[in-house]
Chains A and B, each alone.
Chain A
Amino acid sequence: MMERQLDLLIVGGGPAGLAAAIPAHDAGCRDILILEREQHLGGILRQCIHSGFGLHIFKEELTGPEYAQRYVQMTLERNIPYQCDTMVLDIAPDRTVTATSPVHGVQVFRPKAVVLAMGCRERPRGALGTPGTRCSGIYCAGTAQRLVNLEGFMPGKRIVILGSGDIGLIMARRMTFEGAKVLAVVELMPYSSGLKRNIVQCLDDYGIPLLLSHTVTDIRGRERLEGVTVSKVGPDRKPIPGTEIQYDCDTLLLSCGLIPENELSKTAGVTLDRATAGPVVDQHLCTNVSGVFACGNVLHVHDLVDNVSEEAEEAGKQAAAYVAGTASDVRLVAEVEDGEGVRGLVPRRITGTVTAPVKLMFRPANVYKDAQLETLVDGEVVATRKARIFTPGEMVTALLLPKFLPQDGKCHKVSMRIVQ
């Protein structure tokens, strides 16, 4: 069995992995390897053929394949080594990485630092508790997107979509463009977590109804899906009897949330956060395991890929510094907690001597209009920001200025909350 020592191993060749590799290389770290389980670099963006990517990083609107290609190009220009078609099976707490591929068989790597950039996966039917038969014709929206956009197959002709996140909305238009009839998009919550732009341009433009406070309460079909029952739900999110609507359809797409894919983080001994389902990291994207960093959707599910690239850049720089022996001090100076209306703050830990503003990101727990975001240090409000609206679909970024964090060697409590 091959065994190799190297400086930096990056698990995942999607937007996060590539955006981490590039600054690590530029910082002088040359012994890098990116492992990617697909046969191409680029990750999920390859199948996201719609546009809307890159407005922040490249100041222009790109499609997913175009955005991915820019990072692939930057990786190739630097001759950063990568290996596709390679599945990482295990990461040990001492950072020993075991991978397998058809070409190389089982490989063992002993890197000085690891960047976790495995991304996320879709919440499947089994996790939703939807009743009904186990017929074919039920797909996660992203799987359908892959089938249509990359493999050239149409999953069906008459479609109901459960969940109104952006992937579900984008797929409603995509399936319509490919000649299918999208009967409805059904959303359990009283609001959509998708962007307004997608609701208008993917549903309203094509007269596709969005049923808020509704859910699928039955799935019918023996071999193939024949129809679904949709019911209105009350404020308790329980179906209301007598509100059933029947749809004859051959396909049900599920767009019901994304889950960071952290099986490998667990084998490495990385502590995970309950709210984000991703690793607990400090402001340098460093996990509790020395030399293991995390970025992108494996850390927390992002709304914009531009934010992934930015976060991954920091992870790459920090991993390179760790390899060079110039990593920042990891002494804990503050723990970060979610307050009222705030879910999944990243980072959870602030370490070392804080000289630069710490960027904190989270998702609002609900829709709040004309509300105020408050930052608290040890229970005292130190900063406030007003906004006309906070919604779960749009991540909020806030900066914690160093002057608000007493540098007295003690561990402080930082939190954020939304008040109306």
Chain B
Amino acid sequence: MKREITCIGCPMGCLISAEVENGSILSMSGYTCPRGEIYAKQELTTPERAITTLIRCAGATPLSVKTASGVPKAKIPECLAAIHAAKVTLPVKEGQVVLHNVCGTGVDVVATRDISGSWLMVSG
């Protein structure tokens, strides 16, 4: 299958074309530096994204969270649904794991801020 991706290594944004079959790269062209080649190989075979989003907490400001590392790109919608459905008890501390092993990815979801137990909906 023919695929085209934009390199994110630098502002050049080289367009990289590749022939990919069953997760292996048959041919690849368009990258112009070693960083681009490394990026393209990863992006074409095992693309990953770290997710940052919110968990709603009743009566409080939303809790900002992140996946501790990248999850497979194809699993983003599934992971988002699981994170958004997670229940969190206040107080929460930055760095606290709020969801273990999201969707079997082996990646934890952690809080990126503190919310105290006595949070009042006044200011964000």
Query: Which residues of A pack against B, CB within 8 Å?
Result: 38-40, 46-47, 49-51, 61, 63, 65-66, 69, 146, 148-152, 177-178, 195-197, 199-201, 204-205, 388-389, 391, 393-394
Task: Report whether A150 and B11 are in contact in the complex, using a CB–CB cutoff of 8 Å.
Answer: no
Chain A nearest CB from B106 CB (Å) reads 19
| Closest Cβ neighbor of A66 among chain B residues | B112
| Closest Cβ neighbor of B80 among chain A residues | A177
Q: Which of B9, B61, B80, B94 contacts A150 (CB 8 A)?
A: B61
Q: Which of A51, A69, A152, A199 contacts B61 (CB 8 A)?
A: A152
| Closest Cβ neighbor of B6 among chain A residues | A200
Q: Name the A residues within 8 Å of B122 (CB-CB).
A: 39
| Closest Cβ neighbor of B65 among chain A residues | A49
Task: Report whether B11 and A195 are in contact in the complex, using a CB–CB cutoff of 8 Å.
Answer: yes
- Count B-side interface residues using an 8 Å CB cutoff: 29
Give bound CA distance, A391 to B49, whole Å.
Answer: 25
| Closest Cβ neighbor of B32 among chain A residues | A388
A-B contact pairs, 5 of them (CB 8 A): A66-B94, A146-B124, A195-B11, A196-B8, A201-B8
| B82 at interface, CB cutoff 8 A | no
Cβ-Cβ contact count across A and B, 8 Å cutoff: 80
Q: Name the B residues within 8 Å of A393 (CB-CB).
A: 11
Q: Give chain B interface residues in 41-66, CB to chain A under 8 Å.
A: 49-50, 52-54, 56, 61-62, 64, 66
Q: Name the A residues within 8 Å of B80 (CB-CB).
A: 177
Q: Name the B residues within 8 Å of A61 (CB-CB).
A: 50
Give bound CA distance, A292 to B109, whole Å.
Answer: 44
Q: Name the A residues within 8 Å of B9 (CB-CB).
A: 196
Task: Report whether A151 and B61 are in contact in the complex, using a CB–CB cutoff of 8 Å.
Answer: yes
Give bound CA distance, A199 to B15, whole Å.
Answer: 13
| B12 at interface, CB cutoff 8 A | yes
Task: Report whether A196 and B6 are in contact in the complex, using a CB–CB cutoff of 8 Å.
Answer: yes
Task: Report whether B62 and A150 are in contact in the complex, using a CB–CB cutoff of 8 Å.
Answer: yes
Give bound CA distance, A200 to B54, whole Å.
Answer: 21
Give bound CA distance, A178 to B56, whole Å.
Answer: 11
Q: B9-46 interface mask toward A, CB cutoff 8 Å, 1 = contact, 0 = none?
A: 11111000000000000000000000000000000000
Q: Which of B7, B8, B12, B112 contacts A49 (CB 8 A)?
A: B112
Q: Which of A65, A148, A150, A197 contacts B8 (CB 8 A)?
A: A197
Give bound CA distance, A199 to B12, whole Å.
Answer: 13
Q: Name the A residues within 8 Å of B12 (CB-CB).
A: 196, 388-389
Q: Which of A39, A50, A195, A388 contacts B123 (CB 8 A)?
A: A39
Q: Name the B residues within 8 Å of A201 (CB-CB).
A: 8, 49
Q: Which of B8, B13, B123 contacts A40 (CB 8 A)?
A: B123
Chain B nearest CB from A143 CB (Å) reads 12
Q: Name the A residues within 8 Å of B76 (CB-CB).
A: 205
Give bound CA distance, A205 to B6, whole Å.
Answer: 11
Closest 10 CB pairs of A and B: A150-B124, A49-B64, A197-B8, A65-B113, A196-B13, A39-B123, A63-B112, A152-B62, A391-B11, A151-B124
| B100 at interface, CB cutoff 8 A | no
Q: Which of B6, B50, B62, B112 contacts A199 (CB 8 A)?
A: B6
| Closest Cβ neighbor of A369 among chain B residues | B12
Q: Name the A residues within 8 Å of B53 (CB-CB).
A: 49, 177-178
Q: Name the B residues within 8 Å of A150 (CB-CB).
A: 61-62, 124
Task: Report whether B66 and A63 are in contact in the complex, using a CB–CB cutoff of 8 Å.
Answer: yes
